[in-house]
Amino acid sequence: MKYDKEINGLKNWIVAEEDFCQEYLGKFESIMYQGNGYLGIRACTEETYPGEVRNTFISGTYNKFHPSEVTELPNAADVIGIDIYINGKKMNLMEGNFKNYSRYLNLKNGELVRNFIWLGPSGEEVEFTFKRLVSLANYHLVAQEVLIKPLSKPVQLKLKSGINGQMTNSGVQHFFEGEKRLYDGKYLNFIQTTIESNIHFVINSTHSFFKNNEYYEPESIILMDRRKIFFEFNDKIEVGQELVLNKLSTFHTSRDKELEKLSLKEIILESLKELREESKKRYNQLLMESEEKWEKEVWSQGPIEILSTDGFDQLAIRFAQYHLRIMTPFHDNRMSVGAKGLSGEGYKGHVFWDTEIFILPYYIYTYPDKARLLLEYRYFTLDGARKKAKENGYEGAMYPWESAWKDDGEVTPVWGAADIVTGEATKIWSGFIEQHISADISYAIWQYYQITGDEDFLIKYGYEMLFEIAKFWASRVEWNEEKGRYEIKGVIGPDEYKEHVDNNAFTNYMAKFAISIAIDCYNSLREKVDQKVFDELNEKIKIDDWIEKWIDVQRKIYLPKPNENLVIPQDDTYLQKEVIDLTKYKNQQQVGSIFRDYNLAQVNQIQVTKQADVIILLYLLEHYFSKDVKKANWDYYEPKTLHDSSLSLSTHCIIANDLGEKELAYQLFKKAAQIDLGPNMKSSDHGIHAASIGGIWQCVVNGFGGVRIIDGKLRIQPSLPENWSKLKFVIYYQGDKLSIEITKDKVMIEKLTNRNREIEILNNQQFYLLKDKLVLKI
């Protein structure tokens, strides 16, 4: 891993690898993956290696292989792979026969470049350069450029390149094979259709060759194999010549919003037309077009500047912004972000609370119109949530722990890793009882509304979701007659190492929060907003029938209070469980190392926490808790938290910073950033950690930058790490764009939009008014 590579004057924009190592393919395939929210392609090499995972995903195209398995994003046909033979020898790097190797991902324009000199068995020296992009200018387009230059002697070249539909998801084939065809002697066309959801994928590829910058056609033959269509090209290259191949490929599916109504035949024609158009351009022009979009959509709209003694910090936030962009399906509000983005098979492309709690804040503050689309996704799946509630004997909307397409409902797999004691697969309970997701969605809607003021969203989608979620919680709580309170029994909180617990603090507090919001909305909708909206909603989902119950539950729901040591019990029994020495399992490269010694039933009996649980409650509902309580719980829970989920470190970073533990907070930030960008070469094999990448941004803006919404008010109270001299970023607030520049001793807030209004800003428990510019001392 190289973090300080400079390309064309770009510094802290480049993630680079300086040596080839076949054992760490997965790491780079994931962190250097490319995409645009529609399409995601792992950074596999053109040549193949054992252990590679060659994935191409298209957002939202879920398919279920068999009724006994859960739906997942299917791995589409591969267009990246190219077999290259030099004088009959298949080029690969495992034999160590290369020099001057480098590969890098340019975060600024999303281009992946690989360059090396290959040393052949007969003294051949051939320089290879591979360039690749997944276009942000045309979501359907993948462009590759391959440059081959013999340095020592002329070489006979053979290339096999085309479309390879033999790909699977770790052995699961989601497609049946459709037609494969060559059009106009030039355009390879391959159809594959998902076996259960019946989505057609239309994939095209075309090749153009240039020598000495002149277009030419080498000897070629079209070949087909099972689920494969490809060309074999044969050519001789002289020393001094450079062969340039431009391979352009397009992906379209019958699930695409704009193609939904077309027949397969029409989609094929449409896609071929598009490829014909695009293939009039050369690779560099396509790169330029995509680069412009990156600049316009991402970097100029949400620039973040970190002046640190360690350039890695600036790189880390750009890495986060790059990945946040490519993982998010902005083109279609029927989709949301998978826990691994589009970077790997991990979590099957399913959507978790990761989106609302860890990723959404970035969009709410930086691209509020995009944030709205992600929340609309939850409206799209509302009927599924209603169905899940009904199936479980509840009312309203019970959101699935893992979510996929509209009707899929709950898609959490039921069986997981081996139980080391019984030898059987462990049952995964999250899909049944990890219920806080429904409150998390209310929280996110409310956060979105508070920051954007988007009343239209509430009316069209938000109110209905908030009310349905409140109904769920009101039907979910159980009345404890003896104690005169409502309780929530038998759940899993964020800490998944504790199953079937009663009154998980996080769940109870968040459930109450969700109900409170619903009550507030009920009142304001009824009294202030719009009687018509209220009447329509009431007609549709009968909120009048629920308001009394909500108020009752809100008043009487049990919230675990800090004990005599100010510690909030994570649940009813946590504090009574055994305390063991966790040193062996903390700070392990390998997450879940405790399961090498204990099975889940045993871990359930120990005071050990997988990930921020009480701690994230202290963050999300921070104004509910005093600083003393925060400190006491930090001291109690941090040592017991293994951070065996990537959702944990960023929250701990923010809380540490809040508590004045600046050095520790900075370390935790680094660790969070290093989950993917760090030296652990195995942690990203199944894909990047989407929530953790959202967390990097949260550490920077919500943590060090101190930007929060407290009780509906914008608070800005920064506290930079020691070695940061400046942090500058923009946020949107209630329709205004603010630039925030933080240095050691002051924060300068500037309103970039020209609307004549003042914004209240909370700092050090005082309110200040921002008109055009505001400078606060730190």
Q: Are 731 and 740 in contact (CB under 8 A)?
A: yes
Candidate ranges 145-153, 175-183, 374-382, 717-725; the one touching its own copies (CB under 8 A): 175-183
Amino acid at 513: F
Q: What would the DSSP string read from start to end of 108-175?
A: TTTEEEEEEEEE-TTS-EEEEEEEEEE-SSSTTEEEEEEEEEESSS-EEEEEEEEEETT--BTTB--E
Q: Quick check: is 219 catalytic?
A: no
Candidate ranges 169-177, 312-320, 354-362, 378-386; the one touching its own copies (CB under 8 A): 169-177
Between 75 and 336, whose beta carbon lies closer to its own copies? Answer: 75
Shortest Å, Cβ 77 to its own copies: 9
Candidate ranges 163-171, 447-455, 463-471, 514-522; the one touching its own copies (CB under 8 A): 163-171
Q: Are 327 and 40 in contact (CB under 8 A)?
A: yes
Shortest Å, Cβ 96 to its own copies: 5
Between 221 and 769, whose beta carbon lies closer to its own copies? Answer: 221
- 541 to 560: interface string for its own copies, x by CB under 8 A: --------------------
Q: Does 425 bind its own copies (CB under 8 A)?
A: yes
What is the rounded end-to-end Cα distance, in angstroms, of the chain?
Answer: 36
Q: Does 173 bind its own copies (CB under 8 A)?
A: yes
The CA–CA distances, whole Å, from 338 to 43, 344, 687 equal 18, 10, 10
Q: Does 659 bind its own copies (CB under 8 A)?
A: no
Q: Which residues touch 19 (CB under 8 Å, ≥6 apart)?
A: 101
∠662-668-673 over CA atoms, to 5°? 130
Q: Does 582 bind its own copies (CB under 8 A)?
A: no
- Binding to its own copies in span 88-107, by CB under 8 A: 89-90, 92, 94-96
Candidate ranges 84-92, 253-261, 317-325, 754-762; the one touching its own copies (CB under 8 A): 84-92
Task: Choose which of 165, 400, 409, 718 interacts with its own copies (CB under 8 A).
Answer: 165
Indicate the burial class of 612 (C-beta count within 10 angstroms; 0-12, 13-18, 19 or more): buried
Q: Which residues touch 675 (CB under 8 Å, ≥6 apart)?
A: 646, 649, 683, 684, 689, 692
The residue annotated as part of the active site, out of 289, 345, 468, 496, is 496
Task: Choose which of 223, 239, 579, 752 interacts with its own copies (CB under 8 A).
Answer: 223
Q: Does 179 bind its own copies (CB under 8 A)?
A: yes
Residues that constitute the known binding site for substrate = 353-354, 610-611
Copy the structure tokens of residue 494: 């964020």
Q: Are 500 and 607 in contact (CB under 8 A)?
A: no
Between 90 and 623, whose beta carbon lies closer to its own copies? Answer: 90
| Helix locations, 542-661, DSSP H | 547-556, 600-603, 614-620, 627-637, 649-658
| Other beta carbons within 10 Å of 737 | 17
Shortest Å, Cβ 420 to its own copies: 6
Q: Which residues touch 642 (CB under 8 Å, ≥6 apart)?
A: 497, 582, 585, 586, 588, 591, 594, 608, 609, 610, 611
Shortest Å, Cβ 225 to its own copies: 8
Shortest Å, Cβ 67 to its own copies: 8
Q: Does 775 bind its own copies (CB under 8 A)?
A: no
Candidate ranges 222-230, 378-386, 546-554, 619-627; the one touching its own copies (CB under 8 A): 222-230
Q: Does 177 bind its own copies (CB under 8 A)?
A: yes
Nearest alpha-carbon partner for 711 in 557, 517, 467: 517
Task: Choose which of 9, 123, 393, 423 interacts with its own copies (CB under 8 A).
Answer: 423
Task: Choose which of 10, 288, 417, 752 interacts with its own copies (CB under 8 A).
Answer: 417
Q: Does 596 bind its own copies (CB under 8 A)?
A: yes
Q: Does 265 bind its own copies (CB under 8 A)?
A: no
Q: Are 568 and 561 in contact (CB under 8 A)?
A: yes
Q: Does 87 bind its own copies (CB under 8 A)?
A: no
Q: What would the DSSP string read from start to end of 466-524?
A: HHHHHHHHHHH-EEETTTTEEE--SB--S-TTS-SBSS-HHHHHHHHHHHHHHHHHHHH
Candidate ranges 133-141, 226-234, 259-267, 288-296; the one touching its own copies (CB under 8 A): 226-234
Q: Kindly calculate the radius of gyration of the chain based on its CA atoms and give it in whole angstroms.
A: 27
Task: Choose which of 4, 10, 99, 176 interacts with its own copies (CB under 8 A).
Answer: 176
Between 171 and 393, whose beta carbon lies closer to its own copies? Answer: 171
Give the Cα separation of 144 and 139 in Å (integer): 15
Give the Cα separation of 137 and 707 in Å (integer): 32
Indicate the burial class of 475 (C-beta count within 10 angstroms; 0-12, 13-18, 19 or more): middle
Give the Cα separation of 349 and 71 in Å (integer): 9
Shortest Å, Cβ 167 to its own copies: 6
Q: Does 66 bind its own copies (CB under 8 A)?
A: yes
Shortest Å, Cβ 279 to its own copies: 17
The CA–CA distances, whole Å, from 743 to 244, 306, 666, 724, 777 equal 48, 10, 16, 8, 10
Give the Cα separation of 58 and 270 in Å (integer): 18
Candidate ranges 376-384, 398-406, 410-418, 644-652; the one touching its own copies (CB under 8 A): 410-418
Residues that constitute the known binding site = 353-354, 610-611
Task: Choose which of 107, 141, 157, 167 interacts with its own copies (CB under 8 A).
Answer: 167
Task: Choose which of 369, 424, 530, 548 interacts with its own copies (CB under 8 A).
Answer: 424
Q: Which residues touch 626 (CB under 8 Å, ≥6 apart)?
A: none
Task: Choose which of 166, 198, 285, 300 interacts with its own copies (CB under 8 A).
Answer: 166
Q: Does 484 bind its own copies (CB under 8 A)?
A: no
Between 184 and 482, whose beta carbon lies closer to its own copies? Answer: 184
- 180 to 199: interface string for its own copies, x by CB under 8 A: xxxx-x---------x----
SS (H, E, C) 363-374: HHHHCHHHHHHH
Q: Are 740 and 753 in contact (CB under 8 A)?
A: no
Q: Which residues touch 60 (CB under 8 Å, ≥6 apart)?
A: 255, 329, 332, 334, 335, 405
Q: Does 765 bind its own copies (CB under 8 A)?
A: no
Shortest Å, Cβ 717 to its own copies: 46
Give the Cα separation of 58 and 332 in Å (integer): 12
- Binding to its own copies in span 33-62, by CB under 8 A: 47-52
Give the Cα separation of 488 and 265 in Å (integer): 53
Candidate ranges 164-172, 482-490, 667-675, 695-703; the one touching its own copies (CB under 8 A): 164-172
Task: Choose which of 4, 6, 69, 217 interacts with its own copies (CB under 8 A).
Answer: 69
Task: Choose which of 1, 119, 147, 172 interacts with its own copies (CB under 8 A).
Answer: 172
Q: Does 171 bind its own copies (CB under 8 A)?
A: yes
Residues catalogued as catalytic: 496
Give the footprint of its own copies on this chain (CB under 8 A): 23, 47-52, 65-66, 68-69, 89-90, 92, 94-96, 165-168, 170-173, 176-177, 179-183, 185, 195, 221-227, 229, 416-418, 420, 423-425, 596
